[in-house]
Chain A
């Protein structure tokens, strides 16, 4: 029992389950899944489908955060990749052909990859602090997207493109498969090769890693490239969902949701040890929260406050320090008042 509570995935999972439970109690239809034709519908299915862009972005963010970095530009990169893809389809004589859509989506993702490589260059080669380096594209990226679309919101009609976010495959949303594929791909690349552990080493102690011969520059560079690539795919899914390239709204504030998802999943912002499974749980937690807001009919005006309060509670529940203090307080009450010793504060000062 004690080991279960010590496992770092335990509390994130409990937080998610509690959230689902609260929703179900409030409205039992929350966990209902209905079958219409050969497709599954229901709030849970919606959460799985709608979480796909955040899932992709959060996966990249996990790797970047593991290197002690941060990527603020993911939302802007989403806007660029959507703009590139939709502009190509809009200008194509055959917007409904699969080939056009493939080319457009690939082009969008490649441009996103280039932007990710740029971020990685600024951080790993030029040595700019990650928050500043990615701030450049966070601000400039939407400008680039507006340039590409000519300042308009580009809208298109293309069934293959629409399929990516709105289509179904064997009864489940196609976007969910994209999301699952990304999780599996990232997990395999990080954990089946040595990339994951080398990334953690660089994040925990960059100087010791350098002296041990780890190519920390390439590893950090690659992390930003991967983050850009995944944000690019997220941008395609987002624009497919609304069938429009909105440079100002695409992926707005998604970097904050992604950072939150990573932290909820138990990866420290100080870098080092990261957990892909944790990030997946974190993404579902955030997406569930967002649907809870609409589901419970929280007025839009107070929804950010509601979100904030719930997030604070979730983070507090997961905080080892707080749990530690609570359990110590409980023990103290049982034992009677104890006097703090000098060694205690000495050890704290030493840290």
Chain B
């Protein structure tokens, strides 16, 4: 045991379970936060990070388990309870009032009063003192919204210090900061840590985890995977802890990637220096007929941004696209659909399903949008039945609302929606996330089958085994750059992890 364990824990969460209708978001998770440490909470999307934070900050009520703060067991019925217990949160999007002054924001609810009236002069003096503690000197009477996001975050932290917080939760505070702003924030974090504040830090940037944190806890699929001092976990091991190695059941599925792709014709889609300021550095990608291109990289690596640019969901500001060797203009989803490109978003609920429509209506939607409103799809029942059957959607009731289906079946319906439009290229962003193993296998099998029949596929997944198994080539992304491209048939997951972590691979197999 390390010396850390002698410091008494400020927060002790034991056996935390949270259930939403149909899913266990957290299952028996233990989490310990000690005074004077920066503790990173790690995990891919859907791992349960934000659910755990929301349990700690009183947004969600826990179904079972205990939360003790400074050794006293607490029940949080709302965020106010958590704040009263000394837990403050600074979110990714600063949730302060932009139309109030910096001083008002810091001191809101704690203003200095003289005979019942607010003494603004001493309130601002107090606010300035709190800011100076963090090494910030600005006019506290200036409007909050006139400052940068980085400064607003520091204001949010000062506000937490006004309430004398023992625990500070920083949920992705660095995602919109530049390098020097991150440095300033880290300086403040170190300072607070040395004063005995316990900091829970969430970020997708691995470099930052190693730079600032003392310990880390890894969650995966709502379960605790590991808790270690940072110095004891090499980067590659951390990545494999986060992405996991489950799915023995899927190993049975033969590696679809062992198949040669004919690359003599011009690629179906070819992107040259495709990029968008602030979201993706220019990238080259070619997709040939019948080929599955995997995109590997951690969350925030730019993999989703690339997919969205290829589809026209976001507008690229550099680069050009060619289809079958001819220039193509794809700046909106409509353009993409007219070019027979389909795209299934990683955010199934917000960008995929139309929750209050039926399964049948959701399947026909893509085809109907393509035909226009005037020409209603004839015999929708036949199309619907054909694809529901081919993909094995259960329950096999086309008139059920799609939001009542499980995640895996919703995903199958979305796949059906796109296949019904007869695409030549389909971009699948995390099609297997958060769905059960059976549905996962169904979807992987379908993708392999379709690409054998000539469909080109761009396949994005956090699960590297899955990417390797399905695709012939893998584009590797990190920090919004493409760092390389590998032929997938003779590399293993460990090689890919190495590549993501260090840019190098023991036996390089790059494709020009």
- Chain B contacts with A in 396-450, Cβ cutoff 8 A: 417
Asked if A236 is at the interface (CB within 8 A of a chain B CB), the reply is no
Would A207 and B350 be within 8 Å (CB), given that A201-B357, A343-B19 are in contact? yes
The answer for the CA separation of A210 and B354 in the assembled complex, in Å, is: 11
State the Cβ distance, A227 to closest chain B Cβ, in Å.
17
Mark B329-344 against chain A: 1 for CB-CB distance below 8 A, else 0.
0000110010000010
A/B pair count, beta carbons within 8 Å: 99
B60 close to A205 (CB less than 8 A) = no
Asked if B365 is at the interface (CB within 8 A of a chain A CB), the reply is yes
B355 close to A205 (CB less than 8 A) = yes
The answer for the CA separation of A258 and B450 in the assembled complex, in Å, is: 50
Asked if B299 is at the interface (CB within 8 A of a chain A CB), the reply is no
Residues of A within 8 Å of B, CB-based: how many? 29
Complex contacts, A208 vs chain B, CB 8 Å: 345, 350-354
A219 close to B61 (CB less than 8 A) = no
Contact of B365 among A192, A212, A350 (CB under 8 A): A212
Asked if A194 is at the interface (CB within 8 A of a chain B CB), the reply is yes
Contact of B62 among A204, A209, A346 (CB under 8 A): A346
A213 close to B345 (CB less than 8 A) = no
The answer for the CA separation of A213 and B368 in the assembled complex, in Å, is: 9
The segment from B133-141, B151-159, B369-377, B492-500 that touches chain A is B369-377
Nearest-CB residue, chain A, relative to B75: A342
State the Cβ distance, A275 to closest chain B Cβ, in Å.
13
A198 close to B369 (CB less than 8 A) = yes
Asked if B323 is at the interface (CB within 8 A of a chain A CB), the reply is no
- Chain A contacts with B in 198-232, Cβ cutoff 8 A: 198, 200-201, 204-205, 207-215, 219
Asked if B509 is at the interface (CB within 8 A of a chain A CB), the reply is no
The answer for the CA separation of A211 and B374 in the assembled complex, in Å, is: 20
Asked if A339 is at the interface (CB within 8 A of a chain B CB), the reply is no
The answer for the CA separation of A270 and B356 in the assembled complex, in Å, is: 12
The answer for the CA separation of A195 and B369 in the assembled complex, in Å, is: 10
State the Cβ distance, A206 to closest chain B Cβ, in Å.
10
B333 close to A213 (CB less than 8 A) = yes
Asked if B485 is at the interface (CB within 8 A of a chain A CB), the reply is no
Nearest-CB residue, chain B, relative to A348: B61
Nearest-CB residue, chain B, relative to A345: B61
The answer for the CA separation of A59 and B368 in the assembled complex, in Å, is: 24
Asked if A193 is at the interface (CB within 8 A of a chain B CB), the reply is yes
Asked if A333 is at the interface (CB within 8 A of a chain B CB), the reply is no
The answer for the CA separation of A213 and B353 in the assembled complex, in Å, is: 13
Asked if A349 is at the interface (CB within 8 A of a chain B CB), the reply is yes
Nearest-CB residue, chain B, relative to A350: B20
B357 close to A346 (CB less than 8 A) = no
Complex contacts, A346 vs chain B, CB 8 Å: 18-19, 60-63
State the Cβ distance, B121 to closest chain A Cβ, in Å.
39
Nearest-CB residue, chain A, relative to B61: A346
State the Cβ distance, A284 to closest chain B Cβ, in Å.
26
The answer for the CA separation of A210 and B351 in the assembled complex, in Å, is: 9
Complex contacts, A350 vs chain B, CB 8 Å: 20, 60
Complex contacts, B377 vs chain A, CB 8 Å: 194
State the Cβ distance, A268 to closest chain B Cβ, in Å.
9
Complex contacts, A197 vs chain B, CB 8 Å: 357, 361, 365, 368
Mark A14-43 against chain B: 1 for CB-CB distance below 8 A, else 0.
000000000000000000000000000000
Asked if B366 is at the interface (CB within 8 A of a chain A CB), the reply is yes
Among the interface residues A211, A215, A347, which one has the most CB atoms of the partner chain B within 10 A?
A211
Asked if A68 is at the interface (CB within 8 A of a chain B CB), the reply is no
Asked if A108 is at the interface (CB within 8 A of a chain B CB), the reply is no
Asked if B313 is at the interface (CB within 8 A of a chain A CB), the reply is yes
Asked if B21 is at the interface (CB within 8 A of a chain A CB), the reply is yes
Complex contacts, A347 vs chain B, CB 8 Å: 19-21
The answer for the CA separation of A232 and B324 in the assembled complex, in Å, is: 51
Asked if A272 is at the interface (CB within 8 A of a chain B CB), the reply is yes
State the Cβ distance, A172 to closest chain B Cβ, in Å.
33
State the Cβ distance, A260 to closest chain B Cβ, in Å.
22
Nearest-CB residue, chain B, relative to A344: B61
The answer for the CA separation of A329 and B307 in the assembled complex, in Å, is: 51
The answer for the CA separation of A208 and B60 in the assembled complex, in Å, is: 27
Asked if A273 is at the interface (CB within 8 A of a chain B CB), the reply is yes
B21 close to A192 (CB less than 8 A) = no
Would A210 and B333 be within 8 Å (CB), given that A201-B354, A204-B355, A349-B59 are in contact? yes
The answer for the CA separation of A321 and B361 in the assembled complex, in Å, is: 27
24 pairs, A vs B, C-beta closer than 8 Å: A194-B374, A194-B375, A194-B376, A194-B377, A195-B373, A197-B365, A198-B373, A201-B365, A204-B356, A205-B354, A207-B351, A208-B345, A211-B345, A212-B366, A213-B333, A213-B334, A213-B337, A213-B369, A214-B369, A215-B369, A219-B373, A342-B64, A346-B61, A346-B63
Top 6 A-B residue pairs of the complex, sorted by shortest distance between their CB atoms: A213-B369, A213-B337, A346-B61, A195-B373, A214-B369, A194-B376
